[in-house]
Structure 1
Amino acid sequence: MPSFTTPPRAPASGWLFLGVAFAFLLTMLGTTLPTPLYPVYQQRFGFSQLMITVIFAAYAVGVIAALITTGRWSDQVGRRPLLLGGLLASAISDVIFLNSDGLAMLLAGRVISGVSAGIFTGTATVAVIELAPDAWKRTATFVATAANMGGLGLGPVVAGLLGEYAPWPLHLAFAVHLGLLALALVAVWLARETVERPAHPRLRLQRLTIPPEVRGAFLPAAIAGFAGFAVLGFFTATAPAFMNEVLGHDNRALVGFVAGVVFFASTLGQLMVNRFPQPWRLPIGCAVVILGVGLVGAGIGLASLGVFLGGAVIVGLGQGIGFRAGLGMVTAASPPDQRGTVTSTFFFVAYVALSIPVVGIGLTARAIGLAATGMGFAVLVGLLSALALVLLVRRQALAPSA
């Protein structure tokens, strides 16, 4: 029987719980800081829109690499060491962006930023829930979700405001973020460890598999998740280009707000999901995404900021409902001893959706133009969501006879 190193069990502290949640929010905020600044990088370094999407996609490479490599490490070495490592990666990314002088450093900064997000996505979610004092137990999962998606949404807003109205537009946001990371470091350092660590940790890669009995639930959930995360990638990587070149708005604060609102709406959607009957949560999410991307596409076609922004809010709500419902459906269908593996596979699909479609947008825009590409992307996401919806309705129709 393996021996364990048992962490000291200090009483749960509301302040330390909120401190780790703050570290989670701040790390995710750092990953989306470049969004409203992409047009500035594009102009300063002469990048094409395709190169901007490649720079963004490098982030997803870092996330996926960290998820596969460190996905199971926090159970072996503890939550705090992984969280401290994620904060270190976030700080290194800031330093690289502060000194960036071209493509190589921007790519490196995005990859390392992705590593910080990949470490925090799983580890911090669990740590926040485990650290919650009794008064926060019922809302701990939502606090973790809000820290994750809220941080992603605040990144473009903060960078847009500083980039538009403060000096040092390409650097100030990263300098401020780097300073705040020091507070997050203290919060994580003071937090108690929440797992019993084996005396001889076994650090293995996270396996990505789907057991046969889970595939019926996994397929529609993964398709819906892919569609939803493709939309998040669209707003994070290419919304600045659409705002500037199609809608005629180049104010960085406005660009940051539009890019961030989809994440705020996603957080609200995840909070709303329990209001719907369980069998209809994911279908409702798919239907709302279809409506939202329809408005996004119409906003691009009409060159209307109001329609485009309304679509962003609605598609964010649908993404949030669909993501939480899909993850819950997949987890419920998984054998208890394989839930971690199936969840990791689900996240892998989601983060692939952040990168491949936006690179496709960059390639397609060179051939048919940005506006046509945006409308085509909206149609594609709508079709994927409709496919997931059909599969879900069919699955429910067949369920009674199973």
Structure 2
Amino acid sequence: MGSFPFKATHLFCWICLCNNLYALQLEPFDSIPVVIGGMVLDIHAKTSLPVHPRTTTPGKIQFIRGGVARNIAECMSRLGCKPFLISVVGHDMAGDLLLSHWKSAGLPTEGIQRCQDVATPTVSNVYDINGELATAIASVEAVEKALGPDWIWQFRRNISSTPVLMVDANMHPHSLESACQIAAESGVQVWFEPVSVTKSKRVASVFQYVTCTFPNEDELISMANALSLDDKFHSIQRLDDNGNRQPIESIFQMFKPAIQVLLKKGIKIVIVTLGSDGILLCSREGPDFIREMVKSSKPSSCGRQLYELMSSRCPINQFVQAPKFKWSSSYPYVIHFPALPASVVSLTGAGDCLVGGTLASVCSGLDFMQSVAVGVATAKVAVESENNVPTEYCLTTVADDARRVFFTAKVLLNQ
């Protein structure tokens, strides 16, 4: 057989081709927020009358798209920030419903795995006549079973290039650790959503990677017990002996020991959600770290309109520049953000929208304090909606509400 006539021009073309392929291989992914966790079909049962045991009660039943990670990601998209969701659903009716909605919203589905041998996660929630969650039954084994390290590893480039990685505690601890390790290798911040009292304990496997977490008061107690390897922390009564609400300074003092456990373990920011009492933003690192935290995250092009609306309403770094405040590393730097008055319809998605609003704002380039104020305003819209995530947000209204929160927030001084 004759040999192939290899010429210098062939060599030159081959080198050019290799260089082009190499350049494509190294081309960075767009800096898109990544959210990992559960997509769930929620069944909401709301009673019209007080519940009596061992009999049916009149009410209303709805099928609603849910899941902590899914809710956070959808909330972000409503605010103009399109995230990349890594999750799992089954080949069933619930999976079809969740995926079709995700596609119709123009959101990427490449990270959502469809499995033949698992059922789409489903949660049945029962609410009392005041809209408070009375009880819930969760069948979400698919997230632990199928959302494993191998699937997450396929999207390591997305995780490595994201401005912030948000993980929810629905995942198996091994999967949580795998995702966090990928983020840590690229210096990506990790935000941890506790999901529930039981699953919040999974923070014990990843606390060394976590930058920020958003527990409610019960999840805070559970996380503190898990990290201290002891059950010395117990639920706290926020009302005084006469049934009156205590001042926020007193409430913080009650939760301070549990908060300190998380901060001393290395979690940089703990945001404790207190329902109608607002939220407590706590950091052992002090105001300078909070200012630099946003600067250190990778830039993202999402949420431009939200950024412009908030920048014109709220001054940057108002709290970290307070001249009369003296901070000590032995005492947490704490800011209280009040809740906004709302006509409550459902409280289920409020916490997820708080996180989604905060994360979308940070990714848009807003100051962290501005971002938390947006989160509170976003949660207010959620509690006035029947859905876990409102079908739409008026960004001007959100920005106006966030401004109210921002200017009524206050630093809790050392005591």
Say whether the fold is shared (TM-score over 0.5).
no
TM-score (norm 2): 0.30
